[in-house]
Amino acid sequence: MTIDSQSLEAGHICLSIVAVIILYAVLLIVFVTYSLFFLLYSHVPGPRLCKLSRHWVTFFDLRRQRPEKVAEWLVKYRLIIHVALVEVSIADSFAMRDIYSSSRRHEKSHYFDHFMTHNERSISADIEDRMRGWVVAVLDRIERQLACTESIDIFPLFSHFTWENFTSLLWNNARFNLPPVYKLGKLIGMVFTRFRNTQRISGAASDLNIPLNHSLLRRLHELEYVDGKTLSSDYITCGVLDNLHAAQATVTVSLTYVLYYLSRNAEWQDRSMEEIDGLPKEVDGFPSFATINAAPILEACIRKAYRLNLGSSGRAERAISFGKKYAGVFLPENIIVSASTIAFHYNATVFPSPSMFDPNRWLETSPEQLRTQGMMFIPFGYAARFCLGKAFATLEIKPPVAALYLRYSTHVDESTGMTTKESMRQAGTQDVLLKRFKMRHSFRKAYLDDRESTS
Ligand code: HEM
Ligand SMILES: *[C@@H]1O[C@H](CO)[C@@H](O)[C@H](O)[C@H]1NC(C)=O
Ligand SMILES: *[C@@H]1O[C@H](CO)[C@@H](O)[C@H](O)[C@H]1NC(C)=O
Ligand SMILES: CC(=O)N[C@H]1CO[C@H](CO)[C@@H](O)[C@@H]1O
C-alpha cells in the first residue's frame, strides 16, 4: 500500500465519521424541535427535559424524589405541567375536580393494577370488636417494651399491627385463613414465585372450614360473568397483593406521622389528651369508636398530619378519554394526568405557611375557608375512584391513637439522634415510606397518673 492510498482511506473514514455526526446532529435537532414545538402536547408548560425524554422524571423517581420534584415544578411553571412524554401533573382544583369526577369516566392509567375486590369486600359487623382487640394488643406490646427500654421505635410496631389486622379483615375468618396470608405477606419481601402465590391463594380459597359467605376468596373464585367466565387465579392473586399494599403502608405511615406531630407539638398533644380523657368510656376503659370519631380536636390533628405527609404516593393517574382545556391549557385525549397531592396540600394561598402544623386551620375557621380548604385536601383521592379503605383506615388510626394518649404522653426521643427531619422525610413513588424507618419515641406514663395524684 502506498502512502497516498493510506491517507486517502483515512480521509474517507474521517468523512464518514463527520457525515454520521452531522446526520445525528440533524436528527437530534429535528427531534428536539419536533418534541418542543410540534407535538400535540408541546404547548403544555414544564421543564424542557421532560418533553424530550420520559427518563428525566425517572431520574427523580430512582432517587425517590418524584412527588416533591413534580410539586416543585408545578410551583415554578404553572398549574398544569408536563412531567414525561405523555404525562401531565395538575395543581388546579377545577381541573382536579373535573378529571376525577364520576361523570367523566376517565380510566385509571396503566400505572394501576385494577382492584376487582371492591364490590365484594364485606366488612362484618364485629369489626369494632376486632379493632378493640387490636388496640389492646398494641398497648400490651408497648407496655412490655417499656419494661426494658424508655423509648420505642414506633414504625415497626405499627407496621406489624397493620399487617395483622388488615389481613384478618380481608379474609374475615382470621383463625383459619391467617397462616397462608402471613406466609404471603412474608413472601412479598422475598423472591417469590407466581406459582406459590397462586397455590396459597387457591389453598386458602378451598378451605371448606370457612362458610362461603365468610370467604372473600371463595366468592371471588366463584364469581361468574354473564358469559359464564370466571376470574383467573392470577387476577385474584394480583388483586389480593394490591389490596394488602394499598392498606398496609398507607396506614402505617399515617399512624407514624400522627404520632410524630403530636409528639412534637406538646400543646396539641395536651389538648387531644384532654379531649379523649373527657369522652365517655365503655366497659373496657376505652371510648367507643363513634365518640372517638366525633372528637373534633383529634380529627383536626389527624387531618393536619394527612395534609403534611401523604399516606399515598399521589400518582393517581388517569388516561383522559377526551381532550379539554383546563386553566388555559388544552390537554389532548389519552394524555395521562395526575393531581400532585403535595402541590394541593402545600398551596400557600389556601394554607398560609403550609409547612406549619396548625390544627386550628380546621377548628377556628370560617365555613367559607373550610370549604376552600376541603377542596384542596385530597389525601384519599377525589370522587370516582376515592379510596375504598378510608373508613377502615380511620378505624385503624383513631382508636389506637386515642388509647395511646389515654395512657401515655409521647415525645420524640432526641437523645438517640435517630429521629431527625431527614429521617422523617418521605421518599418514594410507589409508596411514601419514610427515608429511614427508625423513629424513637419516648413514652411517659406520667400524664394521667400525675393529674390523678395532683387533683
Ligand atoms: C391512611 C390510609 C390511606 C390513604 C392515605 C389512602 C389513599 C388512597 C388514595 C389517594 C386513593 C386513590 C387513588 C386514585 O385516585 O387513583 C386510594 C384508593 C384505594 N384505596 Fe386507599 N388509602 C388508605 C388506606 C386504605 C386501606 C386501609 C384500604 C383497604 C382496606 C385501601 C384501599 C384502597 C382501594 C381498594 C383503592 C382503589 C379504589 C379504586 O380504584 O376505585 N386504602 N387510596
Ligand atoms: C352466612 O353464613 C351463615 C352460616 O355461617 C348463615 O347463617 C348466614 O345466613 C349466611 N348469610 C348469608 C347472607 O348468606
Ligand atoms: C393555589 O390555589 C389557588 C386557588 O385554586 C390558585 O389560584 C393558585 O395558583 C395556587 N397556587 C399554587 C402555587 O399552586
Ligand atoms: C397483632 C394484633 O393486634 N392482632 C389482633 C387483631 O385483632 C384481633 C381481634 O379480632 C386481636 O385478637 C388480635 O390480637
As a whole number, the mean pLDDT across the chain is 78
Q: What confidence tens digit (pLDDT) does each residue in 27-39 have?
A: 998 888 887 787 7
Q: Give the residue-averaged pLDDT of 284-300.
A: 92
Query: What are the structural domain ranges in the chain?
Result: 117-321+340-454
Q: Residue whose CA is closest, atom 3 of ligand 4?
A: 134
Pairing label, strands 329-331, 440-444: unpaired
Quick check: 451 pLDDT over 80? no
- Are 336 and 107 contacting, i.e. CB atoms less than 8 angstroms apart? no
Ligand 3 centre from 93 Cα, in Å? 8
Q: Decide whether any atom of ligand 2 lies within 6 Å of the 124 Cβ.
A: no
Pairing label, strands 440-444, 151-153: antiparallel
- Residue in 78, 79, 89, 371 to alter for ligand 3 test, most ligand atoms within 8 A of Cβ: 79
Of 192, 202, 191, the residue nearest 240 (C-alpha): 202
Quick check: 9 pLDDT over 60? yes
What's the angle, vertex CA 69, arms to CA 63 and CA 71, rounded to 5? 150
State percent of the chain over pLDDT 70.
76
- Are 312 and 292 contacting, i.e. CB atoms less than 8 angstroms apart? no
Map 383-410 to HEC letters.
HHHCCCCHHHHHHHHHHHHHHHHHHCEE
Q: What confidence tens digit (pLDDT) does each residue in 55-103 have?
A: 888 888 777 788 889 999 999 998 888 888 888 999 999 999 998 887 7
**Which pLDDT score, from 0 to 100, does residue 410 have?**
86
Ligand 4 atom at minimal distance to the Cα of residue 132: 9
Q: Decide whether any atom of ligand 4 lies within 6 Å of the 443 Cβ.
A: no
Q: Give the residue-averaged pLDDT of 161-172.
A: 54
DSSP label at 78?
Answer: -
Buried b (16+ CB within 10 A) or exposed e, 111-129: beeebbbeeebeeeeebee
Q: Decide whether any atom of ligand 2 lies within 6 Å of the 211 Cβ.
A: yes
Counting ligands in written order, the one closest to the CA of 341 is 1
**181 CB contacts (<8 Å, ≥6 apart)?**
167, 170, 171, 204
Domain spanning 117-321+340-454, CATH class: mainly alpha
Ligand 3 centre from 347 Cα, in Å? 6
Tell whether residue 238 is among the known ligand binding residues: no
Q: Decide whether any atom of ligand 3 lies within 6 Å of the 117 Cβ.
A: no
Integer Cα distance of 18 and 167 in angstroms: 64
Q: Residue whose CA is closest, atom 14 of ligand 1?
A: 316
Of 247, 362, 391, the residue nearest 295 (C-alpha): 362
Ligand 4 atom at minimal distance to the Cα of residue 161: 1
Counting ligands in written order, the one closest to the CA of 118 is 1
**Which pLDDT score, from 0 to 100, does residue 129 have?**
73
Quick check: 174 pLDDT over 80? no
- Per-residue CA distances from 428 to 87, 153, 220 (Å): 18, 21, 32
Counting ligands in written order, the one closest to the CA of 138 is 4
- Residue in 208, 213, 218 to alter for ligand 2 test, most ligand atoms within 8 A of Cβ: 213
